[in-house]
Chain A
């Protein structure tokens, strides 16, 4: 700003210099012009008077030849015109002369007037009165000398000096103006250079500070503040940067808090999701749960070959009378919890419990060929647990009937509230019949199941048994592992059993009830 003001001041100074010198120069030009004009006029006056003087002198010399001709009207008119011109020019000189300098001009005016009178008299008396004519000439001579040799040269000299002085002053002023202009130009240039340098340095330095600050802020140092204290645009920019940094810091803090909350919330949601998934998986098979989650519904599916297992506790009804409700539920919970573990161990899928009845299925939703064998092994474990538990606590002396059937079913999820994965079909009913037609702590299987497990387990043929729905069907009690597969081995699982399992089902066994070896040997002995 200071530089700009300085430049404006210098520019104004230049204008003032020009205005002042312009007036002065104009004045000097006017003086010079007047002086030159007066010089020209004086030269004209001199020339005219000189010519007239010569004319008069010549006339005076040749007057004796023919005075009348010499003094003819034409000659007089010519002289009068000359004298009139001289008077005119002298009047003009007077106009152009400053009052203070008119003294000499007035002298010239007076003298030239007298001279003109003398010459006029000469011509007037030429040829008439020679004495008067000659006397006028004698009078005119000194006047002519005075005019031509003194007054006019003096005036010419004065005018020349005046013109020279005016010209000199004009040139001096021109020089002064030029010097002033050069000085102003140099000063302006120096100010511009200095100002540019200062401004450039300031801008460079300040921009560098801004840049460094921006880089630091950009690298995450939001606590960094740009130190520019000027009150111009750069200072405001720095302040804006600092405010931005402050806001970013706050926003970062808020973001971190929000992120933390989000993480907490996400963890909660994930936990809840996991819980929900666990609950869902608890309710539904994994594939079904996934299908329900992804599609919102489950398409009923037909499974042509599954093994359904039903259990039912013998003596439960009696226990309902003897035990408190919470005790009864607690016992049932313990049983069913163990059943859940067993079922999961053998890759079966628990479907539901109906009172004291437990229903599970093998071979679905993931189709496995070993479902029948797995279901029988699971059944053995269930029976074993029930019998062992019965022995241990003596609280609830329950037995369990287990019925197993293998056949086709349709599986799916129905309803939108408290939905459950279930199976439908005749096979379900048949399996239920197997259970109801079974015996406590015995595993009753259908012919279809028997066909699937006969190479693994020994069985007792029960013949045709009448079911609830008045049908007579072949039923079998599973007794234990086929002796041929045991072959005296105590290995769990027995090698041959495992080998057969692997050969039949092209997979490894997931579990084997180790008590089954002893039980199977006992059953064989019996």
Chain B
């Protein structure tokens, strides 16, 4: 009986938290989405979540034969990084680092994610570097970059996954 009660409380809390998130989201809406932006010349417009995962896990290193993937990730404690780690990598920060360090040492990649400490820098780099891809707060996307839809959904869509 006690266990049932504890379970109900936990579930209730989760529901509330979820609703709260949703409420926060409903309140922020588009501003809490993390947009995936690429260089305008990058020949992609839509990526599935799985493809995004592949890209950011370094499993896809080229957009096409000429354009390499340049990963731009925010430094730790940034919200965008947290969203990406949670939704795409499903790792924590330490695990993410460990993953990439291991990948580097196993020579499974010739390019590691570039750490940036602000969305502005991320914008600049994505706009400047062909093949660059980054996660930026949807509100801080600047002209000069292309926002990629995820599973056909753009930031702000109700069921946009990266938020």
Contacts and interface: CB of A to CB of B under 8 A. Distances in A.
A131 B75 CA distance: 12
A134 B115 CA distance: 7
A479 to B, nearest CB: 178
Given A131-B121, A134-B121, A63 B115 contact: yes
A145 B68 contact: yes
A61 B111 CA distance: 11
Contacts of A50: 107
A69 to B, nearest CB: 15
Q: Is the interface of A mostly helix, strand, loop or mixed?
A: helix
A145 B76 contact: no
A134 B125 contact: yes
B117 interface: yes
A84 interface: no
Interface in A129-173: 130-131, 134-135, 137-138, 141-142, 144-145, 148-149
Interface string A426-438: 0000000000000
Interface stretch (B7-15, B47-55, B98-106, B151-159): B98-106
A54 interface: yes
Nearest to A131: B121
Contacts of A141: 68, 70, 110-111
Interface in A323-355: none
Interface string B13-46: 0000000000000000000000000000000000
Given A57-B104, A62-B97, A130-B116, A149 B110 contact: yes
A54 B115 contact: no
A137 B70 CA distance: 10
A429 B124 CA distance: 192
Contacts of A148: 110
Nearest to A55: B104
A54 B68 CA distance: 18
A53 interface: yes
Contacts of A57: 100, 104, 109, 111-112
A31 to B, nearest CB: 32
Interface residues on B, range: 20 to 34
Interface string B120-146: 010011000100100000000000000
Interface string A48-62: 001001100110111
A53 B68 CA distance: 17
Contacts of A138: 70, 114, 125, 129, 132
Contact of B97 (A53, A61, A137): A61
Interface in B66-118: 68, 70, 72, 75-76, 97, 100-101, 104-105, 107, 109-117
Given A58-B104, A58-B105, A61-B112, 18 more contacts: A57-B111, A58-B101, A60-B112, A61-B101, A61-B115, A62-B97, A62-B101, A64-B115, A130-B115, A131-B116, A131-B117, A131-B121, A134-B114, A138-B70, A138-B132, A141-B70, A141-B110, A144-B110
24 contacts: A53-B110, A54-B105, A57-B112, A60-B114, A61-B97, A61-B100, A61-B101, A61-B104, A61-B112, A61-B113, A64-B75, A130-B75, A130-B116, A131-B117, A131-B121, A131-B124, A134-B116, A134-B121, A137-B114, A138-B70, A141-B70, A144-B110, A144-B111, A145-B68
Interface of B: 68, 70, 72, 75-76, 97, 100-101, 104-105, 107, 109-117, 121, 124-125, 129, 132
Interface in A14-68: 50, 53-54, 57-58, 60-64
Contacts of B109: 57
Contacts, number: 65
A144 B72 CA distance: 18
A446 to B, nearest CB: 172
B104 A135 contact: no
Contacts of A142: 68
Interface residues of A, number: 22
Given A138-B70, A141-B68, A142-B68, A64 B76 contact: yes
A141 B100 CA distance: 15
Nearest to A148: B110
Contacts of B97: 61-62
A46 to B, nearest CB: 12
A150 to B, nearest CB: 11
Contact of A60 (B76, B107, B115, B129): B115
Contacts of A137: 114
Contacts of B125: 134-135, 138
Nearest to B93: A64
Interface in A105-142: 130-131, 134-135, 137-138, 141-142
Contacts of B75: 64, 130
Contacts of A54: 104-105, 107
B114 A145 contact: no
A142 B125 CA distance: 15
The 7 closest A-B pairs by CB, nearest first: A57-B112, A141-B111, A57-B104, A134-B114, A130-B117, A131-B121, A64-B75
B94 to A, nearest CB: 10
Nearest to A149: B110
Most chain-A Cβ atoms within 10 A of its Cβ — which of B114, B121, B129? B114
A149 to B, nearest CB: 7
